[in-house]
Amino acid sequence: MTRNSFTAMILTITTGITAQEKGGYAELNGLNIYYEIHGSGDPVVLLHGGGSTIDSNFGRIIPLLAKTYKVIAIELQAHGHTADRSQPLSFEQDADDVAALLKKLSISKAHIMGFSNGGTTAMKVAIRHPEIVDRLILASAVYSREGMFPGFFDYMKGAKFDDMPQPLKDAYLKASPGNSKGLVTMFNRDVERMVNFKDISEELVKSIKASTLVINGDKEAVQSTHALKLSQLIPNARLLILPSGHGDYIGEICTPVIDPAMYERVVGMIGDFLN
């Protein structure tokens, strides 16, 4: 038995994922971007939110999605395993990186699901690279500053690293062990991007042609009225409002009380939409 086949066997036994499925890095637009591939079937791309990693946002739903789909989860600039660039974060650059990765993986079209900031990135993918988007899932996503709860942007102006939730810090250091400098960089990059958040014009939102599912909690950072308006602007969109906080419905790592039945139902509804 070769070393590589032994490694693959161990990964399969312990995680159910082969070494090849686990993914790796791709050099794209001057940055080595980390990604993982789980399962098989129609491709579904997962885009994390600010301060997050693949595992912290999607760790509880990836095994469910991977039963039916080829899940491609990405860690974008300065997040998780992926290093920083010498430039601020932008949703446009993130969207271009997603498109470049799919091209590198020879995937011509995929379903795109983004959570929180990842939802804004997903909108940018649909606007800048519509040819690669099959169906779109926008989970707790904003296209304008008015979508966040009142006072959010004032809070972000004074955000301190000490206020960052510990589970998010731990998740970053799990992905990038010992990299405390990278953790602070991620925090600062995300704060800067949100402080300087620029609205996506309604005209551009209306230009999204992909069938879209907008998901939001009724008690969370993104106002449900904003999710309703987003679903009304996109020509072919449906709306799902859940009794949930920010990301609780997918079992995001900061969820105060994990309810597997909820995120299992949500994955089932996502499957119904994608099918």
* Segment 62-87, tens digit of pLDDT: 999 999 999 999 999 999 999 999 99
- Strand pairing class (43-47; 237-242): unpaired
The 10s digit of each residue's pLDDT in 171-217 is: 999 999 999 999 999 999 999 999 999 999 999 999 999 999 999 99
Domain annotation for the chain: domains and CATH numbers? 22-274 (3.40.50.1820)
Q: Cα dihedral sign for 125, 130, 131, 137?
A: positive
Q: What is the predicted pLDDT for the residue at 18?
A: 35
Summarize pLDDT for 205-233 with one digit per residue, the tens.
Answer: 999 999 999 999 999 999 999 999 999 99
Distance CA 53, CA 173 (A): 10
CA distance 109 to 103: 9
Instruction: Kindly write down the DSSP assignment for every residue of 233-247, as one continuous string.
Output: HSTTEEEEEES-STT
**47: closest CA among 105, 126, 108, 103?**
126
pLDDT computed for residue 175 by the predictor: 97
pLDDT at 15: 33
Q: Which two tokens stand for residue 52?
A: 């997050």
Q: What is the pLDDT of residue 21?
A: 58
Task: Please state, for a pLDDT cut of 70, what percent of the chain lies above it.
Answer: 92
- Statement: residue 50 has pLDDT above 50: yes
